[in-house]
Amino acid sequence: MTVPVVLAAHGLSKHFTLTPAAKLLGRPASFLRAVDGISFELRQGETLAVVGESGCGKSTLARLLMLTVTPTTGSVALRGRDVSGSTGGDRQKARRHIQMIFQDPYASLNPRMTVRQIVAEPLRNLTAMGSAARQAKVAEIVDKVGLPPSALDRYPHEFSGGQRQRIAIARAVVLEPAVIVADEPVSALDLSVQGQVLNLLADLQKDLGVSYLFISHDLGVVEYVADTVAVMYLGRFVEVAPRRQLFEDPRHPYTRMLLNAVPPIDPNNRRAWTATAGELPSPVNLPSGCRFRTRCPLASDICARVEPSLDGDAGGHFVACHHPGQPQTQHATASAAPAISD
């Protein structure tokens, strides 16, 4: 039986205008291409992890999927229905099926509300559930995330960071949504607590059949939680593959760079490739052709002229590179070519 697609993006882009008054002065406007042509499908009960450096557009992608910003182009479909242009009541109905877990478990919780009020708020705003049923549901979910009944009438400041993130998770799952967007949900937690929270998310996925779009910069976490991994660079996916394929056979030089940045436990087991040098280019003044070429040891003349498309094989491994999988010792002098604005 085919597993249904619960969340899909098609050609999704968000370009921010930085100089809206420029046209009045006869100059072209500048644009920041935070997200630029993203497409994916997320199936029920699966986890798609999006990984990349700070500034690559991960959080803007999350905002697009949560319908808090309107896309410049493209669409977001939730359970097969286009919701990207929805407003008012239609947007509220869509949010019933997609919820979010934020990075900071303290800043995302109202300090003046008790746990009972925090977890009940989505039910009160997005369902017609009566008070008694609502309170019973809140108690059930709080227990499911591993908090005692005594937590219900306490305030966020009375809990540890890991416990606060459990409260945030309870608020996200109380509606039993189809999708949860988790934006760096464990990066603010101690390592021991990270494991507990990740195990909780895995248990909830099994119990509720929820799908996760998991945003992270931590490849160790991604390797643990993901079914599929999408590597994002300057607004675009440059490699998408099943988790095992991506970690065992990374084909894009940027993916290799990210993996190489993870310190090995065994110093004698270092990877054969080396990290690339150079700073992340400005998303306002993107390099011509391949966006990664100014940092890539494989860059050649075609990389400066033609932007590679995201092409895949029968195993579902997609790469946007003119030289996928080549050893990084085989590089051309064109790698030092300066960035050219599109």
Q: Are 205 and 81 in contact (CB under 8 A)?
A: no
Arithmetic mean of pLDDT, 174-181: 96
Q: How far apart are alpha carbons 96 and 246 in whole angstroms?
A: 33
Arithmetic mean of pLDDT, 246-275: 75
Instruction: Say whether pLDDT at 330 is over 50.
Output: no
- As a three-state string, the secondary structure of 45-108 is CCEEEEECCCCCCHHHHHHHHCCCCCCCEEEEEECCEECCCCCHHHHHHHHCCEEEECCCCCCC
Instruction: Say whether pLDDT at 272 is over 70.
Output: no
pLDDT at 333: 39
Q: Which residues contact 157 (CB under 8 A, 6 or more apart)?
A: 106, 111
Q: How far apart are alpha carbons 171 and 117 in whole angstroms?
A: 10
Q: Which residues of 74-107 are buried (b: 16+ CB within 10 A; e: fewer)?
A: bebbbbeeebbebeeeeeeebbbbbbbbbbbbbe
In terms of pLDDT, which residue wins out, 276 or 10?
10
Instruction: Say whether pLDDT at 241 is over 60.
Output: yes
Neighbours of 73 (CB within 10 A): 14
Arithmetic mean of pLDDT, 16-26: 66
Q: How far apart are alpha carbons 209 and 244 in whole angstroms?
A: 22
Residue with tokens 């690339």: 276
Q: Are 101 and 172 in contact (CB under 8 A)?
A: yes
Arithmetic mean of pLDDT, 303-313: 94
Angle formed at CA 74 by CA 72 and CA 78, multiple of 5 degrees: 120
Arithmetic mean of pLDDT, 311-328: 90
Arithmetic mean of pLDDT, 69-80: 94
In the 8-state DSSP scheme, what is residue 220? H
In terms of pLDDT, which residue wins out, 23 or 54?
54
Arithmetic mean of pLDDT, 272-285: 69
Q: How far apart are alpha carbons 74 and 330 in whole angstroms?
A: 37
Q: pLDDT > 90: what percent of the chain?
A: 70
pLDDT at 132: 96
Q: Are 106 and 156 in contact (CB under 8 A)?
A: yes
Least confident of 36-40, 71-75, 281-285: 281-285
Q: How far apart are alpha carbons 100 and 172 in whole angstroms?
A: 6
Whole-structure pTM value? 0.88
Q: How far apart are alpha carbons 44 and 161 in whole angstroms?
A: 29
- Over residues 190-200, the pLDDT tens digits come to 888 999 999 99
φ and ψ at residue 119, rounded to 5 degrees:
-75, -30
In the 8-state DSSP scheme, what is residue 288? S
pLDDT at 27: 61
- Over residues 203-216, the pLDDT tens digits come to 999 999 999 999 99
In terms of pLDDT, which residue wins out, 333 or 259?
259
Arithmetic mean of pLDDT, 151-159: 96
In the 8-state DSSP scheme, what is residue 331? -
The candidate with the shortest Cα–Cα distance to 308, out of 328, 287, 329, is: 287
φ and ψ at residue 195, rounded to 5 degrees:
-60, -40
Across the chain, what does the average pLDDT equal? 88
Instruction: Say whether pLDDT at 245 is over 80.
Output: yes
Q: How far apart are alpha carbons 212 and 201 in whole angstroms?
A: 9
Arithmetic mean of pLDDT, 51-72: 93
Arithmetic mean of pLDDT, 289-303: 94
The candidate with the shortest Cα–Cα distance to 61, out of 7, 10, 8, 12, is: 12
Instruction: Say whether pLDDT at 267 is over 60.
Output: no
